[in-house]
Amino acid sequence: MNPRTALITGASSGIGAAFAEVFAAEGFDLVITARREDRLRALAASLAQRYQCRVHVIVADLSAVDASARVCENLISQGLVVDALVNNAGYGVPGAYLASEWTRHAASLQVMVVALAELTHRLLPGMMERGYGRIINVASLAALVPAPAGHTLYAASKAFVVKFSEALAGEVRSAGVHVTALCPGFTLTEFHDVTGTRATVSEMPGWLWMDSPSVAREGLMPSCEVRPSMSPAP
């Protein structure tokens, strides 16, 4: 039986890299994509050696409006069939809503909302035809609680991810496709370094924090079993 293949966006670090390792450990081949080619290549080499899996690298900036289409064209050109999709790519724009130009906000929405929905739309038909698919959309605890000032679009984007995932799950479950919205809380990644909030969040107690491998493992809960030898969840 040929291994299934998982596509993971934002795989160069943090939760995305952790998902790549979890899927590799489950016997999947991988397609990993992000902007930083050097990190993707290093991760690919490490996982291929440790898990004896095939790892394909696609360098892409999902803030570009045609990036999702180009990723899928790359998959087709290589004859790759995606059985599991992890929409993990995302980032926060720090500061008040009007502190950034609209182009910066638009780029973040393209990554966290449009690309997520488009990749799902493009890859879902094949999953349904084959009667097997796993889609994990990385949302956030921010989607479930009142958003503080300075998180205007981030929390709203993650709330979209939750509602989108809930509705889609109801549509496709009977076809053997399982959709999950993963809502981690504070996680030890580069996220807060990028947004410039590391000093602030570092004052929070340690028990509030999770690590990326734990988040990824929780994303593969028993009802979303992904082992290639298993039948789709009922």
- List, by residue number, the catalytic residues: 154
- Residues 137 and 196: their CA atoms lie apart, in Å, by 25
Q: What is the largest CA-CA distance in the chain?
A: 53
Please, are residues 21 and 216 in contact by the beta-carbon 8 Å criterion? yes
Compute φ and ψ for 170, nearest 5 degrees.
-70, -30
Amino acid identity of residue 197, one-letter, is T
Compute φ and ψ for 73, nearest 5 degrees.
-65, -40
- Residues 44 and 47: their CA atoms lie apart, in Å, by 5
Measure CA of the first residue to CA of the last residue in the chain; give whole Å. 21
- Residues 119 and 230: their CA atoms lie apart, in Å, by 25
Distances (CA, A) of 90 to 19, 93, 140: 15, 10, 11
Picking from 154, 171, 55, the residue whose alpha carbon sits closest to that of residue 120 is 171
